[in-house]
Structure 1
């Protein structure tokens, strides 16, 4: 038991500090459990090799994998983006309408498409709505993330946390979730949470990104942008842009070359510099002064706005923000080691990381999930970036490449995936048999299939109908999430088998002497919410559910009520930007500080803790059946 607690402590420290990526931490946990398990060095954890690797074959892991692919198929059709454009037309310049449109689209959709890709799709749509409607994106992007969490609690498939919780619930109390098991409470949470965001929440959000400021002013990089003229005797003459500045010696980038009134932007790496060329640099004052002192260049001025560094003849924007999601090749890399500029003919001017804006010495900084890069690139490079799953480009492409003709196919497939699970075929068959006296109808109960089977069938159908290309199904999977699930599922089993869950349950159950069952349930909701704020939502479910079930048994309460409380709390993590992936997606584009999530999320978390706990008591009761 102590060994398992020690492994949990190590995992928590690594999750919080991000010394290792979360998926690598999960694999480390899996390895430790097996090395210290039945087939390992010593039998401390009571986990065999088969149990240690069971997370890979677990139905929750495979179901999440399939749902990620299905969500990708839906996004390829452009149906969510089309809804986004309609909400843009509805919203106009009215903040209340913009909020209503953002919440009204992201919430319900997230009940049927995994909420993580929904936010990834809608970040550029909502950012464009904000800019076109003269509203700060800061007012809309946290509501977008929170609304997607509300919507994720409408159905079993709204979020990977629900699917994992269903699997753990089936193992602990033989009660997996049905498709619409908690939809009635999910609707209550969606309505209450939406009303909070529409009335109170947005008033607590500061305008971190001022309405009238462009990217140059927003990132405060004016002093890092300089225009210089190449001297006649400069050593830069007759060198290419790539070779012109020693990047090891100088922290600088050549953004543009202006010659005879013509402006050249990326790709300019092989362009030869001539005397008299005007170069637009990203460089600090000290670096520029060194170049001037060496009689390399002459100062010419400082660009003050984005318009100053975007050529007039370029029809599309050349400055854009990109968000780094989980699974991107950039995660854990630096700009130098990832060769980002060479791959995409793009220059990073600045980036935001966990609320900090980095403008200098960027090449060696490790990039993390949720970091937002401000880049300059040619329009075709930006289009390539927008089509790459390694990035979320924070504005919609002018000519999106969607498979709109496949919308009916994708919709029919999703209806089939949900329908075969949701419809009570046994009841329907018995009713038809009774009405028609045809006993064969009773065989309809065989049509009742688990979500694992229908989701995998849906993946096959997506490829067969051309909604997805075969090679795209691998790119659609967030492999770090899959490895995270595979690694932490055995940890929950170890907590259970070593008696750790019993011990923790007994300690919490002791509060039953001072609190009613409803109070203990509320404590579990709050505890899960706090834990989820510093580790992943999936990890908190695996750790908290065995303890919650054991506590319920010891105080004579219904374990399923406690399962629901933990599930809802883990799936609605509002307190920090790192507790839930959708919060990370909006962190950079909204220009938020860490405390912005606390300011808006803490009252919401407290409000929904009361609503959810009372809802569980009302709909399901707290006494064992």
Structure 2
């Protein structure tokens, strides 16, 4: 009665929605400890649970893929540039589903949201009509592998505690992949039409206009030999254009589109800051000021020892972890009273004095007539700068500039993207081959990411979604109390005798549908933690294969399509899609019915009772 009461209050608080999920879970854990249901020495054992460690590590590795531009490159390679609605939606949802199978599905959704908004403009749809299919596609993709979503890791953990060992990384694929494929096809061809066509609630509230920046073309770039017209054609999706060219220190304003690009040319590019990374990564070109800062380092070191560290902002140079790990991109606005009005980057010695690079300037839509480093700055200019976070803060304090609201700005780095991808693939390979447990393999990947700097040390802990970690760690001992007190067995017998009446197939359907319903109204990880002991109890009561019921919990916990609170991906699109609470079920309900129809027979075939 005590554990049922605590769980009932916990679920009620989840449904109430006024408190954060991690706060509710921690309260449930402490209540269980005080009531004597969880031993005091095991109260926080959940924080060392392999599922919790693996979730944290996957979030960090996902941050590395995001930082380096690896997913941006993949999206550009996979998504067709000239495609209709069906082809474009299928490519986007397919990419989201594949990515979420091997990285955190919330991270996959966050990475592809800007791509979805761009695609909606191209397909003449509202942002929500593309964002909701993408959100559901990433949720579906998460059920295909062990690491795709936290519920799968939790299910695997309960299987191991039951003495059956962990699930392998691709054990979820036979059923999960089939459900994901059918779900994606349904949404692409039929489902997206059920999404209400609402305008974004966010609107265009944060538009800083176009930035003008300089790109140096390296000798091995694919851009060498192309005409400027052909170059612009390749980057047209990013709404960027070439407004000038510097060759042999001679600036050419509005160059002819038929002029061919040569190695070491400097292209003057006009692009929005949010699409700047995409424009840069098409041809593997780097910002001129980033390249120049590396080339100027040696000369600066010869002049003075004081300029040794400020000039170096490139990753991988031996400047010490504190400096390298603090490299950030920031947008700054120049106020009328700023001390840098009328001065240029060269005049201020930005690199040697402040240890920052001026990467781009936005000036009322007008292209500068001189090089960035010699451009006299004016009040109202917007600057895109790169440097250590404390160096940028010092520059802001000294000059009277105002930092704009933080945005997810990143400059792609091909070499680091390859390293980040290799680390993720290597960790997955180690788990697949059974060389190490998932928690150890992905922790090893995190260590490699820290050493190789695909994830700066300052981001290692900020990349972790700590409320989710606390939620998991707190509910695992509570779920264990359901088993130790016999509550799971009691509930299992009630479901089997009263609803299923001893029929194993009906009981399987009850577990699947119950899990899906609960995951729509409370956190999916919490749902998995609560339902796993019940599923094991039912299978034991009926004397059938427990794996069938555990897989039903995994499928059901990953199918939260009815509400914006059921999954974080649904919450992410609430504002950008302009949605209301009741908009989700229109597509979500048919999709959940389809999941039940497809998964139940497959569970019986792949995991026979």
Shorter-chain TM band: 0.5 to 0.7
The within-5 A match list for 1:239-388 is 313=365, 381=404, 384-387=406-409
Given the two structures, how large is their TM-score scaled by the length of structure 2? 0.66
Looking at structure 2, the residues matched to 205 and 86 of structure 1 have their Cα atoms a distance apart, in angstroms, of 28
Provide the residue aligned with 1:374 in structure 2.
Answer: none
Whether 1:411 aligns to 2:421 is yes
The alignment status of 1:533 with 2:517, answered yes or no, reads: no
For 1:515 and 1:270, the matched residues in 2 are separated by: 78
Match of 1:524 among 511, 518, 524: 511
Q: CA deviation at 1:404?
A: 2.6
After superposition, residues 16-31 of structure 1 pair within 5 angstroms as 16-31=15-30
Counterpart of 1:594? 581
Task: Work out which of the residue numbers 105, 116, 119 in structure 2 matches 1:129.
Answer: 119
Partner residue, 2:176: 186
1:573 maps to 560
Contact 1:169 1:175 in 2 (8 A): yes
C-alpha RMSD of matched pairs (Å): 2.8
Q: Distance in 2 between matches of 1:205 and 1:314?
A: 40
2:61 matched residue in structure 1: 70
Q: CA deviation at 1:90?
A: 2.5
**1:479 equivalent in structure 2:** 466
- Does the 8 Å contact 2:154/2:525 carry over to 1? yes
Q: 1:146 aligns with which of 126, 136, 148?
A: 136
Match of 2:248 in 1: none
Structure 1 residue 83 displacement after superposition: 2.6
1:70–1:86: structure 2 CA closer, same or farther, 3 Å change rule? same
How far does residue 112 in structure 1 lie from its aligned partner after superposition?
Answer: 0.8
Q: CA deviation at 1:595?
A: 2.0
Name the residue aligned to 1:327.
none
Tell me which of 391, 400, 411 is aligned to 1:401. 411
Q: How far apart are residue 620 of structure 1 and its match?
A: 1.6
Q: 1:195 to 1:410 in 2, by over 3 A?
A: same
* Other structure's SS at 1:608 match: helix
Residues 557 and 69 from structure 1, CA distance in 2 versus in 1: closer, same or farther, beyond 3 angstroms? same
**Is residue 539 of structure 2 the alignment partner of residue 552 of structure 1?**
yes
- Name structure 1 gaps, 5 residues minimum: 38-44, 217-264, 273-309, 319-344, 346-377, 388-399, 425-447
Partners of 1:136 and 1:207 within 8 A in 2: yes
Shift of 1:379: 11
The alpha-carbon distance between structure 1 residues 36 and 516, as it changes in their structure 2 partners (threshold 3 A), is closer
Q: Give the Cα–Cα distance (whole angstroms) in 1 for the partners of residues 152 and 449 of structure 2.
A: 23
1:35 is matched with: 34
Partner residue in 1 for 2:596: 609
CA distances 1:553-581 after superposition (whole Å, capped 9, x unpaired): 21222111000001110012111110111
Q: C-alpha displacement at 1:492, in angstroms?
A: 0.1
Deviations 1:232-269 (A, max 9, x none): xxxxxxxxxxxxxxxxxxxxxxxxxxxxxxxxx99699
Question: Hey, what's the Cα distance between the residues in 1 that align with 2:63 and 2:605?
Answer: 37
Question: 1:15 matched to which residue of 2?
Answer: 14
Shifted more, 600-609 versus 128-137: the winner is 128-137
The change in CA–CA distance for 1:105 and 1:36 in structure 2 (over 3 A counts) is same
How far does residue 186 in structure 1 lie from its aligned partner after superposition? 1.9
Q: Give distance in 2, aligned partners of 1:87 and 1:128.
A: 15
Give the equivalent residue in structure 1 for 2:3: 4
Deviations 1:101-130 (A, max 9, x none): 211210111111111101011112211221
**SS of alignment partner, residue 563 of structure 2:** coil
User: Structure 2 vs 1, CA of residues 379 and 81 (structure 1 numbering), >3 Å: closer, same or farther?
Assistant: farther
Q: Matches of 1:593 and 1:500 in 2, distance apart?
A: 38
In the TM superposition, residue 87 of structure 1 has moved relative to its aligned partner by 5.0
2:200·2:576 contact (CA, 8 Å) conserved in 1? no
- Matched residue SS, 1:489: helix
Q: 1:165: Cα distance to partner? A: 1.4
Q: Matched residues in 1 for 2:533 and 2:81: separation?
A: 46
Describe the SS at the equivalent of 1:476.
coil
- What is the CA-CA distance between 1:65 and the residue it aligns to? 1.0
Q: 2: distance between equivalents of 1:271 and 1:555?
A: 78
> Counterpart of 1:251?
none
**TM-score (ref. length: structure 1):** 0.65
Rounded to whole Å, the distance in 2 between the matches of 1:513 and 1:87 is 46
Q: Could you say which residue in structure 2 is the equivalent of 1:48?
A: 39
Aligned equivalent of 1:199, options 178, 189, 199: 189
Matched residue of 1:575: which SS? Answer: coil
- The answer (yes or no) to whether the contact 1:511–1:520 under 8 Å persists in 2 is no
2-structure distance, mates of 1:518, 1:607: 18
Q: Is the 8 A contact 2:563 2:581 kept in 1?
A: yes
CA distance in 2 between partners of 1:466 and 1:182 (Å): 32
CA contact (8 A) 1:549 1:563 kept: yes
Deviation at 1:146, TM superposition (A): 0.9
| Secondary structure, counterpart of 2:165 in structure 1 | coil
Matching residue of 2:497: 510
User: How far apart are the structure 2 equivalents of 1:458 and 1:106?
Assistant: 22
Q: Which of these residues, 405, 417, 430, is aligned with residue 420 of structure 1?
A: 430
Task: Tell me the equivalent position of 1:120.
Answer: 110
The answer for the alignment partner of 1:101 in structure 2 is 91
Distance 2:34 2:498 in 1: 36
Unaligned runs of 5+ in 2: 206-330, 339-361, 368-379, 381-395
Query: Larger deviation: 508-517 or 9-18?
Result: 508-517
Name the SS of the counterpart of 2:169 in structure 1.
Answer: coil
Among 437, 454, 457, the residue aligned to 2:441: 454
1:84 corresponds to 2:75: yes
Q: What is the number of residues matched between the two proteins? A: 431
Q: Distance in 1 between matches of 2:460 and 2:541?
A: 45
Q: Secondary structure at the match of 2:102?
A: coil
TM-fit CA distance, 1:138:
1.6
Q: Deviations over 1:59-93 (max 9, x none)?
A: 1111111111111111111111223334555355x
Counterparts of 1:119 and 1:410, CA distance in 2 = 18
Rounded Cα–Cα distance in structure 1 between residues aligned with 2:447 and 2:524: 29
Change (3 A) 1:203 1:11: same
CA 1:520 to 1:314, structure 2 compared with 1: closer, same or farther past 3 Å? farther
Task: Return closer, same or farther for 1:31/1:314 CA change in 2, 3 Å cut-off.
Answer: farther
**SS of the counterpart of 1:147?**
helix
Partners of 2:505 and 2:119 lie apart in 1 by 43
CA–CA distance in 1 between the matches of 2:92 and 2:564? 19
**Structure 2: distance between partners of 1:516 and 1:379:** 67
